[in-house]
């Protein structure tokens, strides 16, 4: 291939100008990034424009690595260190040719290194960087796991299949197989972090152990582990999280701090005995995660106005409600970070402490030592707090103390598990909070869910059918709907063909005005209470989600899956 500089090629293709190239080259001297990366990071061009220009000018084929099934034996031709150093992926061979996916096919040093290692003639192919990262993670991640599994099988041997109970000798077996078991667990955690997973599930089945990861709210299977390695894998996780290795009959909880590629993450780990052995779930909490603004979370319009109005309060209780995994903690900490100033004393009760916030006094719940939510809350009240945050209201005792704190001059923030803002009022009554206390202390309820965002890289518009419109509450005969275009994701390398990337909150915010308070305090009929809530301008969550659909942020399918799947 004739040597061509990337900058000259992009100018010839009409993608950038001489001035833009000069600007990028000047920046490159400071950042030390590759020219293509510098052009993309500076916003001069997109990665897709680079790919299209290289494909056209050099006559190189484009390969979507998220749709290609690569033979694991390809790892024998290109070692992992070379693949990661040069961002290349071996795709396939034909005779003495090796088809090599590259983000920069003009990197001839990489081509020569791979040719020397594989002893094959290199045929460059161009791929998106995200696709290459994904393929390296999948191909070499699986390779690392498989190598560790092979070594564990060799060391554990046939005796692993014959064990039926807890034996003292298992400690010796675990010591002998610790190196490969450590590598296997580390590999699983690394893949979880690189995939943006919120949870890792290690699930024992009758004949194997399945590893699944929750990404953007949905679980997907990553790989399977032989059944005979289950005990070594479980023991390694327990050792890492300071759990009792010998106890298999009762659930256990633990935590660990891991560092992967200069990123620190907290793992909250839970084990649960099942008929096929102990299931493990790891919740990943990224320590380096930036706290968002309400706008970044997805608050907009009337919900953003009401969110701001609630944060201006000096006393009372604000509740964040929704099911597990609906983003309540993220919203709660966004509120705390906004309220965190030098003039106020903020104390939080958490189980566990998820995000460290400078200037906030964060207390870890530990029921073994008697530090429950109720006991901790009593102690907090003697610490001269202005703002109190309670991780969750779980019982009547905690609820009573929280509401009494709210009417004695404190601003209290907390979460509750209910399906809607209106259902929260019923739930508080069910817990045992007196109606007069609810009407006096409760200032507002934010109910939320998380829906997946349409991938911006493969978004396309389409005209919805009348059935689609009706399925999410639109009126097909409404003139304002006639020419509205909906959006969806085709699936691309950036979103791993899912059509979605990231999530956004769907919200309903209930502010308690005089009429609502009067209806609660007098225990008025359900119809009277609902009428008062409607008159207050309350907009249900469904309306917020319909706005997201009309704005091209999420899809009809997501609204059906997340919003209409709930039963109040």
Mean pLDDT of 384-394: 92
pLDDT at 177 over 60: no
Q: Which residues contact 388 (CB under 8 A, 6 or more apart)?
A: 346, 347, 348, 349, 377, 380, 402, 405, 410, 411, 412, 413
Length of the chain: 568
The fraction of the chain above a pLDDT of 70, given in percent, is 90
Vertex 96, ends 91 and 101: CA angle to 5°? 25
Q: Which of 476, 73, 503, 92 is nearest to 326 (CA)?
A: 503
Give the pLDDT confidence score for residue 549 in this predicted structure.
94
74: β partners: none
Say if residue 463 is exposed, middle or buried (CB neighbours under 10 Å; 0-12, 13-18, 19+): exposed
Q: What does the alpha-carbon distance between residue 479 and residue 238 come to, in Å, rounded to a whole number?
A: 61
Q: So what's the pLDDT on residue 174? A: 36
| End-to-end Cα, the chain, rounded Å | 65
pLDDT the model gives residue 291: 64
Report residue 451's pLDDT band, with 50, 70 and 90 as the boundaries.
Answer: very high
Which of the residue ranges 152-166, 198-212, 225-239, 282-296 would you say has the lowest mean pLDDT? Answer: 152-166
**What tens digit of pLDDT does each residue of 138-156 get?**
787 666 666 667 776 666 6
Residue 315 is predicted with a pLDDT of 94
Span 510-550, pLDDT tens digits: 999 999 999 999 999 999 999 999 999 999 999 999 999 99
Tokens of 209: 């152990």
Cα separation, 518 vs 487, whole angstroms: 44
pLDDT at 1 over 50: no
Calculate the alpha carbon distances from 321 to 68, 216, 345, 372, 381 in Å.
Answer: 42, 19, 24, 21, 24
**Using CA atoms, how far apart are residues 262 and 311, in angstroms rounded to an integer?**
35
User: What DSSP string describes 498-563?
Assistant: SSEEEEEEEEEEEE--HHHHHHHHTT--HHHHHHHHHHTT---HHHHHHHHHHTTSS-HHHHHHHT
Helices and strands per DSSP (H, E), number in the chain: 23, 18
CB distance 180 to 152 below 8 Å: yes
Asked whether 432 and 467 are in contact (CB, 8 A), the reply is: no
CA distance 515 to 534: 11
User: 415 falls in which pLDDT band (50, 70, 90)?
Assistant: very high
Cis peptide before 93 (omega within 30 of 0): no
Contact criterion met (CB below 8 Å) for 271 and 279:
yes
Predicted local distance difference test score (pLDDT) of residue 165 = 37
Q: Is the pLDDT assigned to residue 171 strictly greater than 60?
A: no
Domains identified in the chain and CATH numbers: 6-132 (3.30.300.160), 175-286 (3.30.450.90), 294-450+504-538 (3.40.50.300)
Label residue 162 by pLDDT band (50, 70, 90): very low
Q: What is the mean pLDDT of residues 380-390?
A: 92
Confidence of residue 566 (pLDDT cuts 50, 70, 90): low
Q: What is the mean pLDDT of the chain?
A: 85
Distance between CA atoms of residues 309 and 396, nearest Å: 28
pLDDT given at position 172: 29
CA 467 to CA 476: how far, in whole Å? Answer: 9
For 291-318, what is each residue's pLDDT tens digit? Answer: 678 998 999 999 999 999 999 999 999 9
Which of 30, 28, 51, 43 is CA-nearest to residue 104? 51
Tokens for 283?
């919740």
Query: Who contacts 216 (Cβ-Cβ below 8 Å, separation ≥6)?
Result: 196, 452, 498, 500, 501, 502, 503
What distance in Å separates the CA atoms of residue 378 and residue 381, rounded to the nearest whole number? Answer: 5
**Continuous segment of H or E residues that includes residue 364:** strand 361-364
pTM, to two decimals: 0.73
Beta carbons within 8 Å of 328's beta carbon, 6+ residues apart: 320, 321, 322, 415, 448
Helical (H) or strand (E) element with 57: helix 47-58
- Residue 334 tokens read as 């966004």
What distances in angstroms separate CA 14 from CA 3, 50, 73, 500, one per listed residue? 19, 11, 40, 31
Lowest mean pLDDT among 391-405, 447-461, 469-483: 469-483
Residue pLDDT, tens place only, 59-96: 888 988 877 888 878 888 998 889 888 889 999 999 99
pLDDT at 212 over 70: yes
């Amino acid at each position: 291939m004739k040597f061509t500089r990337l900058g000259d090629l992009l100018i010839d293709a009409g993608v950038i100008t001489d001035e833009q190239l000069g600007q990028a080259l000047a920046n490159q001297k400071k950042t030390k990034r590759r020219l293509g990366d510098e052009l993309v990071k500076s916003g001069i061009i997109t990665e897709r424009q680079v790919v299209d220009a290289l494909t056209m000018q050099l006559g190189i084929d484009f390969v979507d690595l998220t749709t290609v099934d690569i033979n694991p034996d390809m790892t024998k031709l290109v070692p992992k260190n070379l693949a990661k150093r040069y961002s290349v992926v071996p795709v396939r061979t034909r005779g003495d040719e090796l088809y090599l996916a590259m983000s920069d096919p003009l990197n001839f040093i990489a081509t020569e290194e791979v040719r020397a290692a594989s002893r094959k003639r290199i045929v460059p192919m161009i791929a998106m960087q995200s696709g290459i990262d994904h393929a390296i993670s999948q191909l070499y991640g699986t390779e690392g796991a498989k190598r560790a599994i092979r070594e564990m099988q060799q060391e554990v041997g046939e005796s692993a299949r014959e064990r039926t109970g807890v034996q003292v000798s298992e400690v010796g077996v675990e010591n002998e197989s610790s190196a490969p078991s450590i590598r296997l667990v580390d590999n699983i955690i690394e893949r979880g972090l690189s995939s943006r997973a919120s949870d890792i599930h290690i699930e024992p089945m009758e004949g194997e152990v399945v590893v699944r990861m929750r990404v953007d709210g949905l679980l997907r299977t990553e790989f399977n582990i032989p059944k005979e390695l289950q005990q070594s894998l479980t023991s390694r996780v327990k050792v890492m999280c300071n759990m009792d290795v010998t106890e298999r009959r009762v659930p256990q909880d633990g935590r660990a701090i891991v560092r992967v590629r200069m990123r620190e993450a907290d793992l909250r780990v839970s084990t649960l005995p099942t008929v096929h052995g102990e299931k493990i779930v790891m919740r990943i909490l990224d320590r380096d995660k930036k706290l968002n603004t309400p706008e970044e979370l997805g608050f907009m319009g009337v919900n953003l106005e009401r969110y701001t109005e609630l944060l201006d309060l000096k006393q009372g209780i604000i509740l964040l409600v929704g099911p597990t995994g609906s983003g309540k903690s993220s919203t709660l900490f966004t509120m705390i970070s906004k309220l965190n100033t030098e003039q106020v004393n903020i104390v939080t009760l958490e189980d566990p402490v998820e995000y460290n916030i400078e200037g906030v006094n964060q207390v870890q719940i530990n029921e073994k030592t008697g530090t429950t939510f109720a006991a901790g809350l009593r102690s907090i009240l003697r610490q001269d707090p202005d703002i109190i945050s309670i991780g969750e209201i779980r019982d009547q005792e905690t609820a009573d103390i929280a509401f009494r704190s709210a009417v004695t001059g404190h601003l209290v923030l907390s979460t509750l598990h209910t399906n809607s803002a209106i259902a929260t009022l019923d739930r508080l009554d069910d817990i045992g909070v007196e109606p007069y206390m609810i009407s006096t202390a409760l200032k507002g309820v934010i109910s939320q869910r998380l829906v997946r965002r349409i991938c911006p890289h493969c978004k396309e518009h389409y005209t919805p059918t009348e059935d689609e419109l009706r399925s999410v509450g639109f009126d097909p005969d409404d003139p304002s709907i006639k020419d509205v275009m909906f959006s969806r994701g085709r699936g691309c390398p950036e979103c791993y063909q899912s059509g979605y990337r990231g999530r956004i909150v769907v919200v309903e915010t209930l502010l308690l005005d005089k009429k609502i308070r009067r209806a609660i305090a007098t225990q008025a009929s359900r119809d009277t209470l609902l009428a008062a809530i409607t008159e207050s301008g309350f907009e249900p969550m469904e309306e917020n989600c319909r706005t997201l659909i009309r704005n091209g942020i999420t899809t009809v399918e997501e609204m059906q899956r997340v919003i209409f799947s709930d039963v109040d």
